[in-house]
Each structure stands twice: as C-alpha cells, then as structure tokens.
Amino acid sequence: MDDFDHTGGRPGEPGDADAGIRIRAAGPADVPAFLGILDSAVDWLVSQGRTGQWGTKPLSRSPRTVELVEKYVAVGSPWIAEVGGAPAGMLLLTDEPSSYIPAVAEPERYVHFLASDPRFAGRGVGRALLAHAAAETRSAGVSLLRVDCYAGDDGKLVAYYESNGFVRAQTFAAKDGAWPGQVLERRV
C-alpha cells in the first residue's frame, strides 16, 4: 500500500471541529513533522489492536513511506494542521491518484496521507483538513475529490470518510490481496 489514511479521532464521534485549528501550507521543512504524525498514528493503531492498516513499526523507518511523503510534498499541495502551534494533522493533495488506483476521465484532486496525531483526538483535525481539501479542490475549479483507505477490520475508517461527505466508489486489494482497500469520492 503506497498511501495511508487515518484520522486520530474516532470515526463518527463528534468533535469540536475547527476549534483552535490552524491549517497552513506546508513544505519540505515539514517532512519530519509529517513523519512524526504518521508514527504517532501507528502507535495509536497498535494500542487499539488495529495492526492491519499500517502494521506495527514506525512509518518513518520505511524508506518507501519517506520517499512517498517527500514526493507528494514536492509535487502536490501539502497542508499541516496545528493546534496551539503544535503539528496536529497532515494532508497531502495531488492532481492524481496513486499508481494502484485507476484514473478517472475528469480532473480530480486526490488525498494522500491524511493523518492526525492521536493527542488531538476529538478536536476535529481530520474533518478540518478534509473540509480544507474540499475547498482547495473547489477553488481550483475541480469538482471531484477522491481518497483511498484501509477497509478491513470493522470498517470504521470507511465510515469516517462517509461521515465527511464521501461515498464509496470502488474496492481494491493491495499487498498481494491481503490489504482490503476502498476508494471514496466526494463531489464539491
């Protein structure tokens, strides 16, 4: 699996969306913060017994993950959410999906690496980043925003995206069929 999607909050749980959240454009200097957010999300998933999505090891130790984060920062629109000046979440937005997802016959924006630090769970960080991605997509004159995510275990991650206005588009399997995935889309 090349891209990872996670929100530190609990799917379907109400949060005080946008309360004290500042979203800013990010760049190469933010790559260490992005990797730290991803590692904290892995730690949280492991603590919940949810190792099917990203495994058990810090993603910052994966050369492929580091390469992808750096690539999407360079070619896409990287965003970081801050709460009280601390990195609380991240989102990388590009003009096309990853290689394992079929392209569509219209312009689109694609969410890669949506993640939030579990220390900020319930604050609406993921929701604020997704709303920002929708606004960025709309302001670019594009009407389709897509994302893919882990669809295994209890399906809470898919439900989280659905609670943010996305609808299921197609399923797929990665990692030799052992990793169930779901592509979702949202018209903006």
What pLDDT does residue 17 have?
47
What pLDDT does residue 177 have?
76
What pLDDT does residue 19 have?
63
48-to-8, 45, 74, 108, 121 alpha-carbon distances in Å: 12, 5, 33, 34, 14
What pLDDT does residue 175 have?
73
Q: Give the chain's radius of gyration (CA, Å).
A: 15
Which residue stretches of the chain are H helix?
Answer: 31-47, 63-75, 125-139, 156-163
CB 73 within 8 A of CB 26: yes
Query: 86-105 burial by CB neighbour count: b if 16+ within 10 A, else e?
Result: ebbbbbbbbeebeeebeeee
CATH architecture under which domain 21-187 falls: 3-Layer(aba) Sandwich (3.40)
Query: 115-144 burial by CB neighbour count: b if 16+ within 10 A, else e?
Result: bbbbebbebbbbbbbbbbbbebbeeeeeeb
What pLDDT does residue 176 have?
75
From first to last of its 188 residues, the chain has per-residue pLDDT tens of: 333 333 333 333 334 445 699 999 999 999 999 999 999 999 999 999 989 999 999 999 999 999 999 999 999 999 999 999 999 999 999 999 988 899 999 999 999 999 999 999 999 999 999 999 999 999 999 999 999 999 998 899 999 999 999 999 999 998 777 889 999 999 99
Residue 130: which of 187, 175, 95, 91 has the closest Cα?
91
